[in-house]
Amino acid sequence: MANVKCNPDLVRERAKCSFDVNELIHLIDGGENATKEKRHFEETIFSVKELQDAVPEEYLSHKDRYENAVRKATILRDVCREYMKKYNYKPNRFRVGHGVFKDVSPFLLHDGMFVATIIGQGTPEQQAEWLPKAENMQIIGTYAQTELGHGSFIRGLETRATYDPKTEEFILNNATLSSFKWWPGGLGSTVNHCIVVAQLFINGKSYGIQPFIVQIRDLNTHKPLPGVKVGEIGPKMGFQTANNGFLGFENFRIPRMNMLMKNAQVLKDGTFVKGMNEKLTYGTMVMVRVGIVGDCSLNTSLAATIAVRYSAVRHQSKIKAKEPEVQILDYVTQQHKLFIAIASSHVFRNVYSWLSKSYLNVMKDLAQGKQDHLPELHATACCLKAVCSRDAGSVVEECRLACGGHGYMTSSNLPLVYGFTIATVTYEGEQTVLLLQTARYLVKAWLAALQGKVLAPSVSYLSDWLKNDNVRWQNTPEGIVKGFQHVAAGKVKAAYDTIQKYIKLGKDYEDAWNLASVQLMKASEAHSRSILCEVSWGEVIRTSASPNLLQVLKQLAQLYLVYWTLETSGDFLVYSNISKDDIAILREKYEELLAAIRPNAVGLVDAFDLRDEILHSTLGSYDGRVYERLMEEALKSPLNQESVNASFHKYLKPLMEKAKL
């Protein structure tokens, strides 16, 4: 990239960077070798001509766009397969996926959830049967859980799987419209198999929801099998190429062994054998929630790279009347909008790495029959997924707005990035619903703290606070982290007390919970923020890097802490010993941090190492040829391929002539 002829502003920005950009790239990737491998893989993918679109896909019809996405998905699959064989390297398909599809792959659910569910929910025999076929694409699948009538409340799902011991089969039925599966990616026209989450019935008795692997289309003709009604749900706000679909069954029979039986089992005679914990059926969702935190880091880095590079190139208005128009990046308000995006991407990455480790540890425990840490993992994954996805959506939108009118252009790619980022707030558990799951855990933890019990590490601050809620405020990163814990503890206590108040007024527990649920949701958000702050600051101070880089990483981590303290200063005034003077000091600190980060802004986004082919942005390319690219892309519009459009003769001219009469 270094040899590309760049916009002079970007050249100047890069020259003043105080740290080694390559060092940060390697740190993010996990080592110099990992960067080399990543770059070699990406070079290979983006040199495949067939993966490059001649016409921007936004000009294609819905159908053509889908077909083009499937075409590219199959080529990408082949190239990856060959690459993996040749180099024994497991690539990150999600990252290059943004480049190849701009939006998302019609195979996203195959890779992200179908294969993962076979691994997580299948017995060794079932894995041996389906995993090789799924991994080498002999079968293509999705994860079909959500229905028209129910998404959040999965115990309310209506799709039925009724066991027939005579034939040793399950009979699938969707008797009502609301029971139709609705949303699964790839279901529309791509997949031939699904994980169907359905209510199990044996001898008229319900045994809760279970996962079943179901073939829905013929492998040769791709026609829906008899008894299957399947189709696509139509255009959405984003995810246009994900091929989301609907599905219903009528007396559709599948063999008994198609129920994934790692947890619960149905024996030949119809005996139901309970698993260790029925919530393990929800395991794929926990895994994906963890992954989404990582995805939030990537999505935020895409938007930050585009907006920061554009802000370095764009000149508008003046700070001093007699001086030239400034780079918009010099406006402190612009820095306020953008630097939190850079900082958030690092925070999400560090927290993702921490959460993934917890996830893997819990999976190891579960394999040995130990489930003590599962509730803590579930609660942590829920609130982090909810808060990170919401933050990522807000940050991406702020980056888009920070690009003014050009941020509204599809060719900036910011609208698309916003489309797939904001979807993460809803899928894999709607944000409020997940925050309230964490709140259940926090309320239990609070009760345990009141009873003097030892709490799990992520909530032990509740006991500390109970012992001493009068800690002197300190304007240091550690002091701020403590402050966030105080806010969270104060909010948990307030929400708990509110529940108790309603119960004393004669409400039953469930109604009291609902009445207190805004407070519960906010407590859960505060808990999540305290984890984000504690973990990210802890990761940064443990990072081994050169002094120059470490200084910049600490500035970013502090910026995150100070930004969120100021954003939620009302909470701090209520729940901690912060004073108005402390807030004034933090405001000053925040301004100092913006100024300190300013010279490194372009270097920092360069260190995300996102190739132009992944960014897909007229505003964010490495060379900063913003206006040239905007014009080049505009000229690709089909309306610019003719000097006079037919509508002139058909409609405009007659209109003007009528007006003359």
Ligand X SMILES: CCCCCCCCCC/C=C\C/C=C/C(=O)SCCNC(=O)CCNC(=O)[C@H](O)C(C)(C)COP(=O)(O)OP(=O)(O)OC[C@H]1O[C@@H](n2cnc3c(N)ncnc32)[C@H](O)[C@@H]1OP(=O)(O)O
297 binds ligand FAD (CB under 6 A): no
Residue 294 binds to ligand FAD (criterion: CB under 6 A) = no
**Helix residue spans in 516-652 (DSSP H):** 517-542, 547-567, 569-575, 580-597, 601-606, 612-615, 626-634, 646-647
- Least CB distance to ligand FAD at residue 118 (A): 15
* Torsion (CA) 647, 648, 653, 659 in degrees, nearest 10: 70
Nearer to ligand X by Cβ, of 509 and 648: the residue is: 509
Measured from the CB atom, the residue of 120 and 477 that comes closer to ligand FAD is: 120
CB-based burial label for 166 (10 Å; 0-12, 13-18, 19+): exposed
Q: Two tokens at 344?
A: 């958030």
- Residue the block writes with tokens 């995993």: 131
Site string for ligand X, 508-537 (x = CB under 6 A): ------------------------------
Q: Does 624 carry a binding-site annotation?
A: no
Largest CA distance in the chain: 90
**CB nearer ligand FAD, residue 135 or residue 430:** 430
**Which of residues 146 and 558 has its CB atom nearest to ligand FAD in the complex?**
146
The token pair at 562 is 């100070």
Q: Is 397 annotated in the active site?
A: no
Q: For ligand FAD, give the closer residue by CB, 6 or 416.
A: 416
- Is 255 in a helix, a strand, or coil? strand
| 288 interacts with ligand X by CB under 6 A | yes
- Of 123-131, 142-150, 294-302, 611-619, the segment contacting ligand FAD by CB under 6 A is 142-150
Residue 407, annotated ligand binder?
no
Q: Which residues contact 102 (CB under 8 A, 6 or more apart)?
A: 57, 413, 416, 616
Give per-residue burial for 398-430: e unless 16+ CB within 10 Å, then b.
Answer: bbbebbeebbebbbbbbbbbbbbbbbbbebbbe
Closer Cβ to ligand FAD, 45 or 134, answer by number:
134
Residues 238-257 that bind ligand FAD (CB under 6 A): 239, 244
Interaction partner, residue 112 (ligand X, ligand FAD, none; CB < 5-8 Å by kind): ligand X
- For residue 295, state whether it binds ligand X (rule: CB under 6 A): yes
By the 10 Å C-beta count (0-12 exposed, 13-18 middle, 19+ buried), 299 is classed as buried
Cα–Cα distances in angstroms (integers) from residue 143 to residues 115, 150, 196, in the given order: 9, 15, 7
- Of the candidates 376, 397, 428, 539, the residue annotated as catalytic is 428
- d(Cα 573, Cα 473) in Å, to the nearest integer? 11
**How far is residue 332's CA from residue 601's CA, in Å, rounded to a whole number?**
13
Q: Assign 444 to helix, strand or coil.
A: helix
Cβ proximity to ligand FAD, 231 vs 599, nearer residue: 231
Kindly state whether residue 118 participates in binding ligand X, applying the rule CB under 6 A. Answer: no
Please check whether residue 545 is in contact with residue 400, taking contact to mean a CB–CB distance below 8 angstroms: no
Choose which of 152, 251, 476, 546 interacts with ligand FAD (CB under 6 A): 152
Smallest CA-to-CA distance from 439 within 359, 525, 509 is with 525
Residue 407 per-residue DSSP state = G
CA distance 445 to 516: 17
Q: Which of 94, 201, 331, 473 binds ligand X (CB under 6 A)?
A: 94
What type of residue is 430?
A: E
Query: Which residue number, 298 or 552, has a Cβ lying nearer to ligand FAD?
Result: 298
What's at 327, amino acid-wise? Q
DSSP assignment letter at 102: S
Q: Which does 144 bind (CB under 5 to 8 A by kind): ligand FAD, ligand X, none?
A: ligand FAD
List, in order, residues 6 or more apart from 472 with CB less than 8 Å away.
577
Q: Could you say which of 146, 284, 411, 600 contacts ligand FAD (CB under 6 A)?
A: 146
Residue 378 engages ligand X in binding (rule: CB under 6 A): yes
Cα dihedral value 447, 452, 456, 461, nearest 10: 90
Residue 432 binding result from ligand FAD, ligand X, none, given CB thresholds of 5 to 8 Å by partner type: ligand FAD
Among 106, 188, 393, 429, the residue binding ligand X under the rule CB under 6 A is: 429
Distance in Å, CB of 182 to ligand FAD, minimum: 8
Which one of 50-58, 264-272, 428-436, 538-546 is the stretch in contact with ligand X (CB under 6 A)?
A: 428-436
Examine residue 428 and tell whether it contacts ligand X (CB under 6 A): yes
Q: Pick the stretch among 82-90, 107-115, 161-169, 542-550 that binds ligand X (CB under 6 A).
A: 107-115
Stretch 424-453: interaction string toward ligand FAD, x if CB under 6 A: --xxxxx-xx--x-----------------
Residue 294 interaction partner, one of ligand X, ligand FAD, none, beta carbon < 5-8 Å per kind: ligand X
Going by DSSP bridges, is the β-strand pair 141-144/228-232 parallel, antiparallel, or unpaired? unpaired
Closest distance to ligand FAD from the beta carbon of 376 (Å): 21
φ, ψ of residue 287 in degrees (nearest 5): -60, -45
- 445 lines the binding site for ligand X (CB under 6 A): no
- Contact between 475 and 582 under an 8 Å Cβ cutoff? The reply is yes
Q: Using the rule CB under 6 A, is 141 a contact of ligand X?
A: no
Binding part of the chain for ligand X, among 54-62, 292-300, 450-458, 599-607 by CB under 6 A, reads 292-300
- In three-state secondary structure terms, 336 is helix
Residue nearest to ligand FAD (CB): 151
What angle separates helix 477-504 from helix 517-542, to the nearest 10 degrees? 160
Q: State in angstroms the smallest separation of the CB of 113 from ligand FAD.
A: 7
d(CA 20, CA 539): 20
Task: By CB under 6 A, name the one of 145, 281, 334, 565 that touches ligand FAD.
Answer: 145
Position 347 contacts ligand X (CB under 6 A): no
Task: Give the CA distances from residue 658 to residues 269, 647, 648, 654, 655, in Å, rounded to whole numbers and listed in that order.
Answer: 80, 16, 14, 6, 5
Size, binding site for ligand X by CB under 6 A: 31
196 binds ligand FAD, rule: CB under 6 A = no
Residues that constitute the known binding site: 146, 185
Residues that bind ligand FAD in the complex, under the rule CB under 6 A: 109, 142-146, 150-152, 183-185, 239, 244, 423, 426-430, 432-433, 436
Residues labelled catalytic: 428
Residues that constitute the known binding site for FAD: 146, 185
Residues that bind ligand X in the complex, under the rule CB under 6 A: 94, 108-109, 112-113, 143, 145-146, 152-155, 185, 279, 282, 285-286, 288, 291-292, 294-295, 374-375, 378, 427-429, 433, 437, 440
